[in-house]
Amino acid sequence: MKVKLYGTRGSLPAPLRNQDYKNKVIEILNEVINNPITSKDDIEAFYESLPEHLKYTGGGDTTCVLVKSSKDKVYTLDLGTGSRKLGYDLMATPLGKGKGTLEVFITHTHWDHIQGLPFFAPVFIPGNVVNFYSPIVDLEERLVYQQEKRFFPMPFYGTASKKNINILNKGDVLTFEDGVTVQFQPLKHPGGSYAYKFTEGDKIFVFATDAEYTGNDIDAIRAQTSFFGGADVLVLDCQYTLDESFTKFDWGHTSYTMGVNCATIWGVKKLVMTHHEPAYDDKKLYQIWNDAVQHKKHLGGSDLEIIFAREGLEIEI
């Protein structure tokens, strides 16, 4: 399987502001003064030497993830604003010719997880089939409501693709023609949310955004090892610092410390920290990632790899 992140922000989009861009440029120029570039041949090496927050941006788009199986079948998790770019990329596949089928899994319908749907190009192409999946029993009503004429000029069923709504029931295990199986797990979040587990052969990918785990949930965390345990890659909500999480109980998100604790308890191989706080700039976000790495070291004995989720990041499992 291959996983690609198209949206990593939580709550609402947070595009790079002019002042943020200026700050990055000034920091980079200061790096040039300290490490002068004498030829064009040095540029690439200089770039690679930069601190992470200057090399990359976490991105501004809200949640959207692409999963591609070894047989090139594509699945999508959530349709936040990151789905606009994903849709453009998928236009280079059979979906761009009206000959594609796409499986879309919805974790929940808070706006930052569905607001890109009206701008998702494949749904406008006649001949395409888009299959939506979620345990949310009124999913269809919610998606239709978002595109009422009061809010958007094109209604949900006004776009040319064929759409199928599939409501999942407790214990369901979906098996697709490429051999991939998908299971789901409820998460603690206001209004509810769901994690999804993709299994292909002996490879496991779990996506669990919008989940709140605190120190009071240790027993519940251990009990969920049967779902999360041994995942090759876990993309998990790690929106808050530890201090911030104490002031935001029941907001539905997890601190980076608890995210690392969860991944360690579950025996996860790679933890990808996502659903970044929109108020934080890249420098703050990468500091949180570094703090998470240090926290893992303090726990000791874990081979867990901690990865910072950024738009465009691709992970092969």
pLDDT at 166: 98
Boundaries of every domain in the chain: 2-13+57-316, 18-55
- Residue 198 is inside which H or E element, if any? strand 193-200
Predicted TM-score (pTM) of the model is 0.95
Which amino acid is it at 75?
Y
d(CA 39, CA 315): 33
Out of 3.40.50.2300, 3.60.15.10, 3.40.50.300, 3.90.1300.10, select the CATH number for domain 2-13+57-316.
Answer: 3.60.15.10
Please report the pLDDT score of residue 245 as a whole number.
76
CA-to-CA dists, residue 176 to 17, 39, 71, 173, angstroms:
42, 53, 11, 10
HSE-CB for 67 with a 13 A CA cutoff: 27
Handedness of CA 204, 209, 215, 216 (dihedral sign): negative
Specify the pLDDT at position 248: 77
Q: Is 196 exposed, middle or buried (0-12, 13-18, 19+ CB in 10 A)?
A: buried
d(CA 141, CA 281): 36
Number of C-beta neighbours around residue 41 at 10 A: 8
- pLDDT tens digit at each of 317 positions of the chain: 999 999 999 999 999 999 999 999 999 999 999 989 989 999 999 999 999 999 999 999 999 999 999 999 999 999 999 999 999 999 999 999 999 999 999 999 999 999 999 999 999 999 999 999 999 999 999 999 999 999 999 999 999 999 999 999 999 999 999 999 999 999 999 999 999 999 999 999 999 999 999 888 899 999 999 999 999 999 999 998 877 877 777 778 899 999 999 999 999 999 999 999 999 999 999 999 999 999 999 888 678 999 999 999 999 99
Specify the pairing of strand 270-274 against strand 233-237: parallel
Which residues, other chains included, contact 143 with Cβ-Cβ below 8 Å and sequence gap of 6+?
109, 114, 117, 132, 156, 165
**Token couple for 223:** 């009990």
pLDDT for 216:
85
The pLDDT value recorded for residue 232 is: 98
